[in-house]
Structure 1
């Protein structure tokens, strides 16, 4: 995570409080902790290596990245046997000696790669874009290489997403605080930590990101995605009332500021999930009916993952609601069967979205079976 705590006692320091080591910039809440850390915490041995790496933040990011790559390679080891990287064509990375991973929607013999190769590819593409003064759209597409597979165009997930989050942050953290790329790298780190289920750390990163943007005077409409990410961290940590309140705000602001359609649908789905969790099923159904009626399937296509999620959230509201009729549940199960087939075809059976669709289907079938058992 981003370093906002005392290195000795872990007291929160925010972004500006406390004292820094004059050599390596490691942060402390005061001189007492700094002295203790030097004498008893091992900082006397680490100070020079930390300075050599570029400071405490860079040293921490480099270390976390190396650990995340090792975890990702170990997690994917069984799946990648006998394969080679589609970027460098080697099985073992020539420099880092890391193993292969695959964490997208590629199937068969496609999509095997080293995290280092993915990171280097993304770094080069972005640097070329900056050098040639490419426009926003082109730069945004190149930035996508930090999170999407260049072969299947689907988001990386799990341990691979986590490793790429640290790769992105360690690459750009040294840029000026106002640099949008540095702020975007913070977003990628938060997303990566979430993919690793490190939700406390993800929330810490996202709160730092929002605080930084506000301190720099970023317009409120630009902070919407960061607030949406904070709401997701709240949800993962079980802070459901805060999640619902923030998601209402995010959706309303996204509509008011006319954000892109695909983003608005994501925020709508998130709000619907929170409404269902709060057992506000009628409100959730009404809200989702209105969104489906807006015809997003014609705008983005029926196979767009957010459009699919709108439909399964709507069906899920009937399966979760104890007051739903058997006919409603029958229709919901039929919807789940269709959507599970679609996600499996588009993303493969091992993708998290496909697994989520399968869980919805099984839940619906279970509720239908309970209806039949009572009749």
Structure 2
């Protein structure tokens, strides 16, 4: 359920809200439904029905818009390249251009969103048909959000386009279907990734509110339709909601939820990778609200714990540990009381940047963010 607001008045909808008999467009009450019919739905109803009804029609439309945005954003980088899947510059059917939104560099990693989506769809279907084990199915599902070449997550508008591709693929499945449920998470993450650092605040709020509606709908379905679901799924969804709160600058609300999630993750033996992501989100909220001393202590403990669990090389190669170290350098800089404090921040951030360039590539958003932090720190040292 991604269409969570009334088509006529945009009011939030209940799970049992009335809908158009033919095309399944949803309304808060019969008054809104009759009003929308008079204002033009009469002319669109058959078209929406032929397109697979409201959810499918909406997903297909948003997918095309997201692909166009991704191709335009990647145009300068993809000029003169070909898709590593179909080997063509233009997609044979959709005529769409190429994208690249992972950690690949050089001449690798260029593809059409349609090819990436079809590849993921086929792999997941094979896993279902052959009744593979859980780990094998999870590895195939990762193709919806992770590059098969560099093994790093897609980011930005490319992840947004893949989010809509994933959702439109599974939207018509039963609400209790696990792929449909996880497709909502891919879509929500893609919507959050659609804006970048420096985007206008209105654009950030637009995508964050859309993502928040998706995650809230996912949590609602989890609580009503998947009552036996693992705590892990609930924490994943809550983590995404808290991240949306932070995007919308509802920082106190976000911090409160992140603290609760971190304690729950420890209590329920949540997977370690997920605990690191919760720690990243919690540390960011502490810094935004000015709790620098607490953030610094928390980050040092978490980094030491991560190195103890993952090994010494995690400090140099593990993406989430690098992110934690970058945040530590940032908080050391923000709370600096002397030149020595600033110099420590510079050492941490410079080392993180060197390793992020190697692991993620120089054009990755996290690498660019760390580079901007380093420039700020060095400007203060020069002054």
TM-score tier after normalising by the smaller chain length? over 0.9
> What displacement does 1:25 show?
0.7
Give aligned pairs, total.
367
Q: In the aligned structure 1, how far is the partner of 2:376 from the partner of 2:268?
A: 37
Q: In the aligned structure 2, how far is the partner of 1:57 from the partner of 1:313?
A: 39
> What displacement does 1:297 show?
6.2
Matched, 1:37 2:36: yes
1:86 touches 1:112 (CA, 8 Å); kept in 2? Answer: yes
1:297 touches 1:307 (CA, 8 Å); kept in 2? Answer: no
1:221 touches 1:253 (CA, 8 Å); kept in 2? Answer: no
Equivalent position of 2:331 in the other structure: 317
1:207 touches 1:230 (CA, 8 Å); kept in 2? Answer: yes
1:84 touches 1:91 (CA, 8 Å); kept in 2? Answer: yes
> What displacement does 1:80 show?
1.2
CA-to-partner distance for each residue in 1:39-98, whole Å, 9 max, x for gaps?
22x212211121122210110001000111111111112221111111011111111111
**Which of 241, 246, 249 is the equivalent residue of 2:252?**
241
Q: Secondary structure at the match of 2:323?
A: helix
1:147 touches 1:164 (CA, 8 Å); kept in 2? Answer: yes
**Which of 155, 161, 164 is the equivalent residue of 1:163?**
161
Q: In the aligned structure 1, how far is the partner of 2:127 from the partner of 2:232?
A: 25
Q: Structure 2 matches for 1:66-85, cutoff 5 A?
A: 66-85=64-83
Post-superposition, which runs of at least 4 consecutive aligned residues in structure 1 deviate over 4 A? none
> What displacement does 1:127 show?
0.2
Q: Structure 2 matches for 1:219-238, cutoff 5 A?
A: 219-238=230-249
CA root-mean-square deviation: 1.5
Matched, 1:214 2:223: yes
Equivalent position of 1:24 in the other structure: 23
Matched, 1:352 2:362: no
2:295 touches 2:331 (CA, 8 Å); kept in 1? Answer: yes
CA-to-partner distance for each residue in 1:237-257, whole Å, 9 max, x for gaps?
000001111111111111111
> What displacement does 1:360 show?
2.0
Q: In the aligned structure 2, how far is the partner of 1:220 from the partner of 1:79?
A: 41
Query: What TM-score, normalized to structure 2?
Result: 0.92
Between 1:247-256 and 1:296-305, the stretch displaced more is 296-305
Q: Structure 2 matches for 1:329-348, cutoff 5 A?
A: 329-348=342-361
Q: In the aligned structure 1, how far is the partner of 2:305 from the partner of 2:255?
A: 23
Equivalent position of 2:178 in the other structure: 180
Query: What TM-score, normalized to structure 1?
Result: 0.94
Q: Structure 2 matches for 1:1-375, cutoff 5 A?
A: 2-17=2-17, 19-40=18-39, 42-197=40-195, 198-216=207-225, 217=227, 218-296=229-307, 299=310, 301-302=314-315, 303-322=317-336, 324-369=337-382, 373=383
> What displacement does 1:15 show?
2.4
Q: Secondary structure at the match of 2:77?
A: coil
Q: Secondary structure at the match of 1:78?
A: helix
> What displacement does 1:290 show?
1.5
